[in-house]
């Protein structure tokens, strides 16, 4: 069979960025000047892989080497030309509206990332400090993406969980989404498959039952992971944050509630991130309902995680979340009950309902962690430090393992230098090792069918 490849001309759906300045379109052109072209092209390719079940970006890039993209201008604005795109995403030769929307969201975020970052010159960095600026970038990126609504009458539930969950877990997460949708919650996830997709799919039916139209299925990702975890087909607001730290900060400041489904080490990273924040004295008045939930069959997963938290961070960390097994409507009710308290809190602190400015995030969470072998083995994984510090260090460790598993740079580093080595308290190291082994044995590190090769070694 001869694969016939065609060029496709895609016009921006209404609401998308549909006009570019000459400077902007130069930046995106495949040429010497087009400094953003490669990034742009790769993120588009990820979006055009929507719905595919993979977690290895290199396969994608390998397969579509001859894919190219070109922005051109017409009397009605711009159009995007795709050359040799993947075929499976097309429905009768056309892209769904959401795919088209997301292609132009890539355009928007790639351009804005450069604009906003470049506008913080050295003078401003000194004046405001890097933490204030990191949060400012998160805010400005979300505002530019129209993801922040000053209006009051919506609530975003952030759902975390693995991209590789089994069918029972998928159905369960879909049912939780359905119950959330019936209660008009918008859904925000990491934008990929598995537990990032299931609640959106359920919510779409629940929202339809409510006759609610402006429903939001927000997927927040980052350039280094989008190709490994392409958006799922329901995402209607795709947002690309500059790095994983800003991505998680966006989740936390944007969301009004948090649900954790079964997941792997990435989910654990996110969970430790938020626990580290909530354990800070500065955040003691914050209200952020967190529910860990799954079907009966996944109960052991939560027991393992809960046990790890208790033993590593102590009982005081456990009061920040509730575990609900096999009860989708109860999960949704918990979220609903908490919303008036969240609102009240924002009001009292004169904080925006759509962006939680008042939350303090420590520098070690906010500063991009580069998972080199040196940084990984230098992590302070000892118990003789404040619990929130330990939580932050653990999240860095897990962040490194995610990179070693699925991010391009991480995979390359492991190939060259062997597994990361983690040091720390033997007792703590034992806990970490056990948790990770449990993830491996539950098949949460990789997609089904592949065998997991650990990218780390715990030095006890």
Q: In 3-state terms, what secondary structure has residue 352?
A: coil
Nearest CA to 391 out of 370, 420, 362 is that of 362
Residue whose CB is less far from a copy of itself, 66 or 350: 350
Q: Does 150 bind a copy of itself (CB under 8 A)?
A: yes
Residue owning tokens 């005081």: 316
Residue whose CB is less far from a copy of itself, 354 or 432: 354
What string of DSSP letters covers 66-121? T-EEEEEEETTEEEEEEES--STT-BTTB--HHHHHHHHHHHHHHHHHHHHHHHS-
Nearest CA to 223 out of 368, 419, 8, 64 is that of 368
Q: Which two tokens stand for residue 207?
A: 């929202």
One residue of 41, 108, 183, 334 binding a copy of itself per CB under 8 A: 183
Q: Does 21 bind a copy of itself (CB under 8 A)?
A: yes
One residue of 76, 412, 415, 417 binding a copy of itself per CB under 8 A: 76
- The angle that helices 426-441 and 299-313 make with each other, rounded to 10 degrees, is 170
Measured distance CA(268)–CA(129) in Å, rounded: 29
What sign results for the dihedral spanned by CA atoms 156, 161, 164, 165? negative
One residue of 6, 63, 97, 303 binding a copy of itself per CB under 8 A: 97
Q: Are strands 257-260 and 237-240 parallel, antiparallel or unpaired?
A: unpaired
Q: Does 210 bind a copy of itself (CB under 8 A)?
A: yes
Q: Does 19 bind a copy of itself (CB under 8 A)?
A: yes
| Residues between 348 and 377 that touch a copy of itself (CB under 8 A) | 350-355, 357
One residue of 217, 271, 301, 369 binding a copy of itself per CB under 8 A: 217
Contact present, 290 and 350 (Cβ < 8 Å): no
| Residues between 286 and 345 that touch a copy of itself (CB under 8 A) | 333, 336, 343
One residue of 2, 65, 66, 75 binding a copy of itself per CB under 8 A: 75
Q: How far is the CB of 205 from a copy of itself (least distance, A)?
A: 5
Q: Which residues bind a copy of itself (CB under 8 A)?
A: 12-13, 18-19, 21-23, 72-78, 91-92, 96-98, 101, 115, 118-119, 121, 124, 128, 132-133, 135-136, 139-140, 143, 148, 150-152, 182-183, 201, 204-205, 207-213, 215, 217, 233-234, 236, 333, 336, 343, 346-347, 350-355, 357
């Amino acid at each position: 069979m001869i694969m016939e490849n065609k060029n496709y001309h895609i016009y921006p759906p209404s609401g998308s960025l549909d006009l570019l300045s000459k400077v902007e379109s130069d930046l995106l052109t495949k040429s010497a000047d087009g400094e953003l072209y490669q990034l742009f092209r790769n993120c588009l390719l990820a979006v055009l892989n929507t719905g595919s079940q993979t977690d290895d970006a290199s396969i994608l890039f390998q397969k579509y080497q001859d894919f190219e993209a070109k922005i051109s201008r017409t009397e009605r604005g711009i159009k995007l030309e795709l050359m040799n795109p993947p075929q499976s995403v097309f429905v009768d030769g056309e892209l769904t509206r959401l795919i088209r929307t997301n292609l132009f969201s890539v355009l928007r975020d790639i351009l804005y990332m450069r604009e906003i970052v470049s506008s913080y010159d050295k003078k401003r960095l000194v004046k405001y400090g890097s933490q204030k600026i990191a949060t400012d970038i998160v805010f400005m990126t979300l505002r530019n993406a129209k993801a922040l609504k000053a209006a009051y009458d919506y609530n975003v539930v952030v759902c975390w969980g693995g991209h590789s969950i089994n069918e029972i877990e998928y159905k369960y997460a879909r049912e939780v989404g359905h119950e959330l949708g019936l209660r008009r919650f918008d859904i925000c996830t990491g934008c990929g498959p598995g537990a990032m997709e299931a609640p959106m799919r359920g919510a779409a039916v629940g929202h339809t039952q409510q006759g609610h139209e402006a429903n939001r299925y927000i997927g927040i990702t980052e350039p280094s992971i989008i190709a490994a975890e392409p958006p799922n087909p329901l995402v209607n607001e795709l947002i690309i944050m500059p790095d994983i730290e800003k991505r998680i900060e966006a989740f936390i400041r944007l969301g009004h509630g948090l649900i954790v489904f079964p997941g792997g080490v990435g989910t654990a990273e996110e969970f430790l991130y938020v626990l580290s924040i909530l354990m800070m004295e500065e955040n003691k008045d914050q209200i952020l309902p967190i529910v860990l939930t799954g079907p009966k069959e996944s109960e052991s997963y939560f027991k393992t995680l809960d046990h790890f938290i208790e033993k590593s961070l102590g009982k005081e960390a456990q009061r920040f979340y509730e575990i609900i097994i096999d009860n989708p409507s109860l999960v949704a009710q918990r979220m609903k009950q908490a919303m008036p308290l969240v609102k009240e809190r924002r009001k009292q602190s004169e904080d925006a309902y759509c962006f939680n400015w008042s939350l303090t995030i420590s520098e070690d969470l906010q500063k991009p962690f580069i998972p080199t072998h040196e940084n990984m083995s230098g992590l302070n994984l000892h118990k003789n430090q404040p619990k929130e510090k330990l939580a932050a260090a653990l999240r860095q460790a897990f962040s490194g393992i995610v990179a070693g598993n699925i991010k391009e740079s991480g995979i390359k580093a492991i190939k060259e230098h062997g597994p990361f080595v983690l040091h720390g308290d033997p007792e703590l190291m034992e806990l970490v090792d056990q948790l990770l082994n449990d993830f491996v044995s539950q098949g949460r590190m990789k997609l089904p069918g592949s065998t997991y090769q650990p990218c780390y070694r715990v030095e006890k």
